[in-house]
Amino acid sequence: MVHHTTRWFLGVSLLVGLAWPGAALADSLSIVYTSSQNQTGVVGSGFVQVVFTGFVTNNTSSSITFQLTGGPEPFEPYVASFIDGIPFPGITLAAGQSTGVIDLAVLNLNPFDPSLPYPGKVSLVLDAISVNAATGQTGGTLAESDATVDVVHAFPEPGMVQMLGATWILSASLLLARRRVTLGLSGRS
């Protein structure tokens, strides 16, 4: 039979072990952004690219080969695609080595669909996935990081013809109103 003091000691030891800094194992890779992790993409009539830059660091004492993939797909409610990362055959980092600043992810936002509500949000989960360099098989997730793009619509500025037309209509309306007021005042005399 376990004594209450022994249970208390085991419980406190477990809590201290879980809460102690550095007691938990770190991810084998760290994904660090040098660009903003939350960006805004202004879309209009053409495709827009949103680029996330940063670096990946190997936190282990052995070499790791990995590739970066993006997801989840499909992105909602806007059509977006993950068009760049670190593809197969991937990158091999030695123990403690870093990639230096690179494009971690590039998203392509398709032309804005005006029938959709805006602003919207595109979420990206950037995964570092292990790669067997000999076979090309991908394994488990070594690290992941979230990023977002707020998608807003660019309202086009009116063209010169529209501005002149609006000015002409406003001027004509003011002249007609002035004429009516003048005629109304002269009819009273």
pLDDT in tens, 24-36: 345 788 999 999 9
Q: Please provide the CATH number assigned to the domain covering 26-156.
A: 2.60.40.10
Q: Specify the pLDDT at position 158.
A: 63
- pLDDT higher than 60, residue 105: yes
Instruction: Lowest mean pLDDT of 37-41, 76-80, 108-112, name the range.
Output: 76-80
The tokens describing 166, both together, are: 């609006």
The tokens describing 159, both together, are: 């063209």
- Within 8 A by CB and 6+ apart from 116, the residues are 77, 78
Q: Which amino acid is at 119?
A: P
The residue ranges of every structural domain in the chain are: 26-156, 161-189
The tokens describing 118, both together, are: 């805006």
Q: Collapsing DSSP states into helix, strand and coil, what is residue 148?
A: strand
- Within 8 A by CB and 6+ apart from 29, the residues are 56, 57, 58, 59, 64, 66, 93, 128, 142, 143
Give pLDDT tens digits for 119-149.
678 888 888 888 876 777 777 888 888 888 8
- Rounded distance between C-alpha atoms, residue 169 and residue 155, angstroms: 23
Q: Collapsing DSSP states into helix, strand and coil, what is residue 43?
A: strand
- Rounded distance between C-alpha atoms, residue 10 and residue 88, angstroms: 47
- Whole-model pTM? 0.63
